[in-house]
């Protein structure tokens, strides 16, 4: 049945979380997919995102990759309006600030929270208002926890945006971590009375077991807070699509907890991804992990490259730092040995730059001229203006699409052309992110890798990465539709938080 608002400003909801990684991104995507299947014109929104995984929109704007995924869930084209502020960490204390899709400079955490963040509130609210004037509903994602009392004064992504835009707030908690009831109660109790008035209730994420055993606790939580639980989502493997933070990615195990399907041929292919510092857009290897018989691991030791059929050096926000890290750990020598032996290596973006002859960087690290690994005939000079494009081309006889996000400008002086980069023997390099999502090209590339590695691996002829992504997004929509009170959720989106919600002491400190 089609739903819609009564006209004027579209409905809205803020999905907050008790912690980072509570499931805000996937819940937001699931609500978007559920709504669009009900005939609702819906858009995602995240006022401020901190992520090393980003995406380039068709108008050439850089936004968080999670918001691009949520736009796909909503079946709309992603735009800069959906993520007006993006912070890309360059160290533990500073980040590049990307405003409306374009970088505007580096800033320390103290400088950003000390005043710059509050100045961006007007821009954020204008973007949200424009989306709400265009769509029936806008599903907003918060960041971290709304109860970060040290940052509340300058907050523009959690309760700051909820109160200014009068959005009801749904707090998501990851019960798989334990302590979810304390987290729910404590989150509300650390908010001011004015903020608490917008917190409508809770959503339990990643529950394992018999939900009837949880229900007495949910009833007690409601009696303590005056707020209901809008659903209990069961634990499901493989739903962490387009995660935001490459700094916390596990170095062990396969990507996204994915189970490796049986190979079509006689052998599997082992892919090792070097988990370099400030790793960015590690989602590039998701398409490899989706192939039956391909095992993807993140590694940080030289000996872990020995049995790999393909080694990927991914993108990074710190090319020179990553290069030093590879040398310190012996991985640089291991890559050189692989190249000499004719064993496949793929460098993407920053990884491509690392494989070159030398890097001239007065922008990112300000290290000046640094020698690269010398595995590709490429010289890189960092420009102050960032390249943000959506290239289309052909490689290995197959059409390819991708996107570029980099300051480094590559001068290729030899080798075979490869996606605006080059190839020498079995060492490949390109600035193109997302190229492996092109099914025909990915299969052709894996055939080359298998031949060089001496593996009797055969790519599946019918693997469609786009279809698999759609299936994942539908699974998220199914979770909401089957395990949340969707009628109550819609009332929140359309009408806002219930009136008369009780104050839970002590509230935020003065």
Enzyme catalytic residues: 349, 433
Whole-number Å distance between alpha carbons of 60 and 24: 26
Nearest Cα residue to 451 out of 506, 396, 390, 494: 396
**310 membership: H or E segment, kind and range:** strand 310-313
Q: What share of the chain is helix, strand, coil (3-state, %, to 5)?
A: 35, 25, 35
Residue 48 β-bridge partners: 85
Q: Report the length, in residues, of the chain.
A: 510
Backbone torsions φ then ψ of 147, nearest 5 degrees: -100, 25
Local structure of residue 371 (DSSP, 8 states): E
CA distances from 107 to 72, 114, 177 (A): 31, 11, 33
Q: Following DSSP, what letter does each residue of 177-232 receive, concatenated?
A: GS-HHHHHHHHHHTS-HHHHTTEEEEEEEEE-S-GGGTHHHHHHHHHHHS-EEEEE
Q: Following DSSP, what letter does each residue of 70-93 receive, concatenated?
A: HHHHTTS---GGG-SEEEEESSSS
């Amino acid at each position: 049945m089609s739903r819609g608002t009564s006209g004027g400003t579209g409905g809205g909801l803020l999905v907050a979380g008790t912690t980072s990684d509570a499931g805000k991104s996937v819940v937001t995507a699931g609500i978007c997919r559920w709504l669009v299947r009900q005939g609702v014109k819906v858009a995602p929104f995240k006022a401020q995102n901190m992520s090393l995984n980003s995406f380039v929109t068709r108008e050439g704007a850089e936004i968080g990759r999670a918001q691009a995924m949520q736009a796909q869930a909503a079946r709309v084209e992603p735009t800069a309006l959906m993520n007006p502020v993006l912070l890309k960490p360059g160290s533990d204390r500073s980040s590049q600030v990307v405003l409306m899709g374009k970088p505007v400079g580096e800033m320390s955490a103290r400088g950003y929270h000390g005043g710059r963040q509050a100045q961006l509130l007007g821009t954020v609210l204008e973007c949200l208002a424009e989306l709400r004037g265009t769509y029936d509903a806008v599903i907003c994602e918060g960041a971290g926890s709304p109860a970060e009392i040290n940052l509340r004064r300058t907050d523009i992504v959690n309760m700051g945006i909820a109160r200014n835009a009068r959005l009801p707030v749904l707090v998501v908690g990851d019960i798989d971590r334990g302590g979810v009831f304390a987290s729910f109660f404590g989150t509300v109790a650390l908010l001011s009375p004015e903020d608490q008035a917008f917190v409508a209730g809770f959503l339990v994420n990643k529950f394992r077991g018999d939900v009837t055993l949880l229900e007495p606790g949910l009833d007690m939580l409601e009696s303590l807070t005056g707020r209901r639980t809008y659903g209990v989502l069961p634990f499901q493997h493989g739903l962490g699509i387009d995660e935001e933070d490459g700094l916390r990615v596990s170095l062990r195990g396969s990507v996204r907890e994915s189970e490796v399907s049986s190979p079509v041929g006689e052998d599997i292919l082992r892919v090792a991804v070097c988990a370099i510092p400030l790793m960015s857009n590690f989602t590039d290897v998701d398409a490899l992990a989706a192939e039956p018989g391909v095992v993807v691991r993140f590694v940080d030791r030289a000996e872990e490259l020995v049995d790999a059929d393909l080694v990927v050096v991914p993108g990074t926000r710190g090319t020179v730092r990553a290069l030093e890290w590879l040398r310190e750990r012996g991985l640089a020598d291991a890559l050189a040995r692989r190249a000499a032996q004719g064993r496949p290596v793929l460098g993407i973006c920053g990884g491509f730059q690392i494989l070159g002859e030398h890097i001239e960087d007065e922008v990112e690290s300000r290290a000046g001229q640094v020698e690269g690994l010398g595995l590709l005939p490429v010289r890189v000079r960092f420009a102050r203006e960032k390249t943000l494009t959506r290239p289309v081309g052909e490689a290995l006889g197959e059409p390819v699409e991708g996107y570029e996000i980099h300051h480094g400008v590559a001068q290729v002086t030899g080798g075979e052309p490869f996606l605006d980069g080059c190839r020498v023997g079995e060492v490949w390099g390109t600035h193109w992110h997302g190229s492996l999502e092109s099914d025909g090209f990915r299969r052709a590339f894996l055939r080359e890798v298998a031949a060089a590695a001496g593996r009797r691996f055969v790519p599946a002829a019918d693997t469609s990465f786009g279809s698999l992504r759609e299936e994942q997004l539908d699974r998220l929509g199914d979770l909401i539709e089957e395990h949340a009170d969707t009628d109550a959720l819609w009332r929140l989106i359309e009408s806002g938080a219930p009136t008369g919600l009780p104050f839970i002491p002590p509230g935020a400190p003065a």
